[in-house]
């Protein structure tokens, strides 16, 4: 079982490293977006896929991350790598704090509260005009590559994002594969049994919320740098729904699923846009429902299942 994913990861990494040589700057920018989405989706997946807490409002943390970075760069001229750390920490705290009242909310009610959060975000951002620049947003400039590297800004941002992505994925994998991960999943599957086994449910749930928000916040920060622009209306409810689509299509409770989901939400709407302005969303909606019916574990889960079927006996995974 171990060989196939490892091979997959090596191939994917090699392809990712070779990519800048093969495609134009614009395409590369799109792949940077994919990396950014993948980080956000991984964050949401930890919460929703692994921990079973439904969030329809992760766009809010994405917005907090993006605005933290934008404001720090624009106002205080902080170097951009530092702002990403700040965004992550701020979202960790914000997520943890939001997670505490969320403890009392189960399933539907949590979904409802986060849905309301997502709807309110653009208004809140516009309201604090002094800091956020109101509906005009904040314009940044793309950073140049450091150390005199001979790369275009887009290429540099791509590698920069890729490095952060790999780091965060390794971190998430280690977190979820070990004792902590088992506790998180146990809470999803049976909270009462988990508590009876000595898992501090409240702590783990709010902590998962915090870490999840931090991942999404880092993604938001990266997106502010990559797009070099933030505006309130790009953080509407549909952004949060996009994340949900990504997680479901990629695969709930799967680290690799985040990459598949990110590829989906980056490229499928672009193709669909050519049919009609509304088409991407119609496709999203249909995909959400079809995946729930037919492939509830998403692309990653289906691939894993397919591999398990094909693999010779003895190497099969128990699922």
Partner 1 sequence: MDILVQQIISGLATGGIYGSVALALVMIYQATDVVNYAQGEMAMFSTYLAWTLMNAGLPYWVAFFGTLVLSFIGGVLIERIVIRPVERAPILTIVIVCIGLLVILNSVAGWIYSYIQKPFPSPFPERPITLGNVVFGAHDVGAILVTLIVLAFLYAFFRFTTLGLAMRAAAQNPASSRLCGIRVGWMLAIGWGLAAMVGAVAGMMVAPIVFLDPNMMAGILIYAFASATLGGFTSPGGAVIGGLIVGVIENIVGTYVHFIGTELKLTVALALILVVLVFKPSGLFGRAAVHRV
Task: Verify binding: residue 131, partner 1, rule CB under 8 A.
Answer: no
Task: Verify binding: residue 52, partner 1, rule CB under 8 A.
Answer: yes
Considering only residues 175-204, where is the footprint of partner 1 by CB under 8 A? 192
Give the CB-side neighbour count of residue 315, counting CA atoms within 13 A: 13
Which token pair is 287?
Answer: 């995909």
The partner residues of 139 in beta bridges, in order of sequence, read 229
Q: How far is CA 79 from the centre of its chain?
A: 23
Question: CA–CA separation, 236 vs 62, rounded Å?
Answer: 11
3-state SS assignment for residue 99: helix
Task: Verify binding: residue 75, partner 1, rule CB under 8 A.
Answer: no
- Residue 285 contacts by C-beta under 8 Å, 6 or more apart in sequence? none
Task: Verify binding: residue 135, partner 1, rule CB under 8 A.
Answer: no
Residue selected from 279, 305, 308, 311 as contacting partner 1 according to rule CB under 8 A: 279
Name the one range near partner 1 by CB under 8 A: 4-12, 164-172, 220-228, 290-298.
290-298
Q: How far is the CB of 130 from partner 1 (least distance, A)?
A: 13
The partner residues of 229 in beta bridges, in order of sequence, read 139
- Residue 55 contacts by C-beta under 8 Å, 6 or more apart in sequence? 44, 47, 48, 110, 111, 114, 212, 240
Residue selected from 284, 297, 298, 301 as contacting partner 1 according to rule CB under 8 A: 284
Name the one range near partner 1 by CB under 8 A: 13-21, 51-59, 171-179, 304-312.
51-59
Question: CA–CA separation, 311 vs 319, rounded Å?
Answer: 14
Residue selected from 9, 19, 124, 175 as contacting partner 1 according to rule CB under 8 A: 124
Task: Verify binding: residue 278, partner 1, rule CB under 8 A.
Answer: yes
DSSP string, 155-169: HHHHHHHHHHHHHHH
Task: Verify binding: residue 136, partner 1, rule CB under 8 A.
Answer: no
Residues that bind partner 1 (CB under 8 A): 48, 52, 54, 56, 101, 104-105, 107-109, 111-113, 115-117, 119-120, 123-124, 126-127, 192, 237, 241, 244, 248, 252, 276-282, 284-289, 292-293, 296
């Amino acid at each position: 079982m171990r060989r196939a994913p490892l091979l997959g990861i090596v191939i994917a990494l090699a392809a990712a490293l070779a990519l800048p040589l093969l495609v134009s700057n614009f395409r590369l920018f799109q792949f940077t977006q994919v990396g950014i989405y993948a980080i956000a989706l991984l964050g949401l997946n930890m919460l929703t896929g692994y921990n079973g807490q439904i969030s329809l409002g992760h766009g809010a943390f994405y917005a907090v991350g993006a605005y933290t970075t934008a404001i720090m760069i624009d106002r205080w001229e902080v170097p951009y790598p530092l702002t990403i750390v700040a965004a992550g920490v701020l979202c960790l705290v914000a997520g943890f704090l939001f997670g505490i009242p969320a403890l009392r909310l189960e399933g539907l009610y949590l979904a409802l509260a986060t849905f309301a959060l997502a709807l309110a975000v653009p208004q809140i951002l516009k309201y604090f005009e002094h800091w956020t620049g109101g509906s005009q947003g904040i314009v940044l400039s793309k950073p140049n590559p450091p150390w005199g590297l001979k790369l275009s800004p887009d290429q540099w941002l791509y590698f920069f994002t890729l490095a952060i992505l790999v780091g965060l994925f390794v971190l998430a994998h280690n977190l979820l594969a070990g004792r902590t991960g088992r506790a998180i999943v146990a809470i999803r599957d049976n909270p009462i049994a988990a508590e009876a086994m000595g898992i501090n449910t409240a702590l783990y749930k709010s902590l998962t919320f915090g870490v999840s928000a931090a991942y999404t916040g880092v993604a938001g920060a990266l997106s502010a740098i990559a797009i070099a622009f933030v505006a309130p209306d790009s953080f509407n409810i549909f952004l949060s729904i996009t994340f949900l689509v990504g997680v479901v299509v990629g695969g709930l409770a799967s680290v690799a699923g985040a990459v598949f989901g990110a590829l989906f939400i980056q490229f499928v709407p672009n193709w669909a846009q050519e049919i009609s302005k509304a088409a991407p969303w119609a496709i999203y909606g249909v995909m959400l429902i079809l995946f729930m019916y037919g492939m509830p574990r998403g692309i990653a889960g289906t691939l894993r299942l397919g591999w398990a079927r094909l693999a010779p006996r003895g190497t099969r995974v128990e699922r």
